[in-house]
Structure 1
Amino acid sequence: MRRFFLLHIPDSETFHLPEEESKHVIRVLRYEQGDQFLLLDGKGLIVTAEVVDAHPKKCLVKVVSKELKKRDGNGFHLAIAPTKNLDRMEWMVEKIVEVGATKISFLNCERSERIQLKLDRLQRVAISAMKQAQHDFLLEIEELQNFADFVANNPNGGIAHCMDGDKKAVQQLSHHSRILIGPEGDFSEKEVALALKHGYEAVHLGESRLRTETAGMVACVLAINS
């Protein structure tokens, strides 16, 4: 059954779809009265809806059934310094959603190239990837925040950096459900020391030196499959 995303699903037996969704359901997909589809809010609510009035601007649907799902396990939280080129972040968001990441936070680091970030485009990418991958939950996206504040409020995990020293594989981390990825100029020594103070462990992501967005995607794949 085809799946649609609706951030706020009304708590009523019948309701009208927003104009954009109505147009897609009726004009593009040519749904008619009696046809059914799924509505997801990205937080675990799944509603089976049936077309009552196939109006192309305000399609009326009725609720056939509801199901509220819970996430399996703790999920994976990626914290990353955004690249100067936002297209690269969009690519990464699409991929980590597909493989099952649950949350992403953006970090303002000492060597960050981007200190402002609009999340609208990334949110649209995440929604599209969620529907494509047929996931029930939407990736939680947090605003850009100071690195020191983040590690203080979110202790424990892995920090991937390019400096010399002992590093663990993702599978060896005490807490591999959260990994920090730095900017293209890497974390500073001060930032690494601060993260270690807050329970993070140095981690490597393989033999190659990876681009920021590639490192984020690889960290997600390794952590989820650990």
Structure 2
Amino acid sequence: MEVMVILGLAGYAKKSIFADMEVFYSNDIRDGRIRLSPEESAHCVKVLRHRVGDEVYVSGGDGNLYRCTLEEADSRAAVARVLSVEGGFGTHPYRLWMAVAPTKNIDRFEWFTEKATEMGVDRITPLLCAHSERKVYNQERGQRVIVAAAKQSLKGKVPQLDGLTSFRALMEELHSAGFTGQKFIAYCDSDIAAGLNTRVPLTGAVAAVKTEGEAAAGEALPGALFLIGPEGDFSSEEIAAAMEAGFTPLSLGPSRLRTETAAALCVAAVYTALCV
């Protein structure tokens, strides 16, 4: 069976008054004024040629969309006055935390963070594992990637992006702070898998997340945490530690997927099941 899908738009969004809207980003909100960064100011004033009195929209990264009027059209420090606020702008009906080992080619990991932000993710933790080839991560550059993706996809909330975090530190955080949601780990080692419980297919994992949300009846958003390892996979010790911490082994199908593909697949599955 052959299936052909034709998308007529480079960027797709459900038809709304926001579909063609330009959104700026700033978390500098004080006294009813929003101050844009030098980069956002230049884009607003030099590129789009906005002038004093123009109406502009700003995402505060806090889940709100601010409708503003431009008060100071300075290409290095533009200032806008807030007219109204739309809460819950571009949000999603779930809590999704992705802990993913950055790839040796950082462009691939940044591609994942961009696409995850576009679909809907709440927290991204770059994970340092025993078999990781990449042992450094530029968090500042990564933040720019997800802010740009949040603006492009009309997200009112920018995901939390952590610095590079060791696998052990993540387990310690989960032990001390806990996580109220489903926890899954995807890995490749079939020998290790043979000694553990049967892996849950991704469809089953997402169904469990959806069921959790239905059971909460709107009182709390369903949550999920996915662990995706490096090209060299998780070590046997890391897999054992995750299992002890209550993670469920996850199957992503018969194909051998790259790290960023596996991570994006998990985000897409949750987004599709709960948003589309």
Q: Of 76, 91, 96, which aligns to 2:96?
A: 76
- Structure 2 residue runs of 5 or longer lacking an equivalent are 1-20, 210-222
Q: Residue 55 of structure 2 is aligned with which of 10, 29, 36?
A: 36
* Paired amino acid for 2:186: A
Query: 1:118 and 1:8 mapped to 2: Cα distance?
Result: 23
Structure 2 residue identity aligned to 1:120: E
Deviation per CA, 1:25-82: give whole Å up to 9, x if none: 2221111232111111211132211023434344343221123338543321111111
Query: What is the CA–CA distance in structure 1 between the aligned matches of 2:171 and 2:132, rounded to whole Å?
Result: 16
Match of 1:107 among 104, 107, 127: 127
Matched, 1:91 2:91: no
SS in 2 for 1:143: coil
Q: Which amino acid aligns with 2:137?
A: L
Q: 1:181 pairs with 190, 205, 228, which one?
A: 228
Report the Cα offset of residue 14 of structure 1. Answer: 4.2
Deviates more, 1:45-54 or 1:12-21: 12-21
Q: Check if 1:59 corresponds to 2:78.
A: yes
Equivalent residue letter for 1:4: F
Q: How many residues align?
A: 225
Q: 1:191 aligns with which of 238, 248, 262?
A: 238
* Range 209-218 or range 62-71, more displaced: 62-71
- Does the 8 A contact of 1:42 with 1:136 survive in 2? yes
Structure 2 partner of 1:224: 271
CA distance 1:16–1:160, shift in 2 (3 Å): closer
Give the partner amino acid of 2:131. Answer: R
Secondary structure in 1 aligned to 2:257? coil
Cα distance in 2 for partners of 1:12, 1:125 equals 29
Closer, same or farther in 2 for the Cα pair 1:99/1:19, shift >3 Å? closer
Shift of 1:123: 0.8
Inter-partner Cα distance in structure 2 for 1:139 and 1:97: 7
CA–CA separation in structure 1 for the residues paired with 2:93 and 2:146? 20
Contact 1:75 1:224 in 2 (8 A): no
Q: Which runs of 5+ in 1 are unaligned?
A: none
Per-residue CA deviation, residues 118-158 of structure 1 (Å, 9 max, x unaligned), is: 11111111011111111111121111122123134235511
8 Å CA contact 2:59–2:151 kept in 1: the answer is no
Q: Distance in 2 between matches of 1:190 and 1:109?
A: 11
Could you tell me whether the CA contact under 8 Å between 1:157 and 1:179 is conserved in 2? yes
Between the aligned residues of both structures, percent identity stands at: 33
Cα RMSD between the aligned structures? 2.1
Is 1:134 aligned with 2:154?
yes
Instruction: Give 1:16 shift.
Output: 4.9
Distance 2:158 2:170 in 1: 22
- Please report how far the alpha carbon of residue 214 of structure 1 lies from its aligned counterpart in structure 2 after TM superposition: 1.0
Equivalents in 1 of 2:238, 2:77: separation in Å?
52
SS in 1 for 2:171: helix
Give the match for residue 189 of structure 2.
163
